[in-house]
Structure 1
Amino acid sequence: MIEVFKTNVQEVEQSIMIVGKLLEHFPNSAINFDLEDCDKILRVHGSAISNHKIIEVLNSHGFHCEVLP
């Protein structure tokens, strides 16, 4: 399963920190950002993904995150 999210993460350092935090919750997932995209895309590829938890993790670090349809 692959989920794609729109975020407001701007910096590479921020994306690295967020990926680390998400991997704590989803250790067997592939997680990456596309900061070149205007929507600052976050992609999460894994077998057991919780959109709610991903959004919660980003929100808890002060970032906006929403599922892209």
Structure 2
Amino acid sequence: MKLRVRISRCEDGGYVASCPALPGCITRGNTTDQARENMHEAIRCYIASISDFVPENITDEVVVEV
């Protein structure tokens, strides 16, 4: 499964990562690599917590460049 993840720099240092397709699935890290690694674990925990329900839109997302 592929999911889009946003990683942004925090004003107070470090980085915050979120997954738009999974509301509330947010984590942070001291580096972008750590934020990405933490996001991987956060997504696994998120999906495990919702059991059999996974929003359908995560498989239909496409990227369009203008």
Q: TM-score, normalised by structure 1?
A: 0.29
Whichever of the two has the greater Rg, that structure is 2
Greater strand content: 1
Flag the structure with more relative contact order, 1 or 2, with Cα contacts below 8 A and sequence separation at least 6.
1
Q: TM-score, normalised by structure 2?
A: 0.29
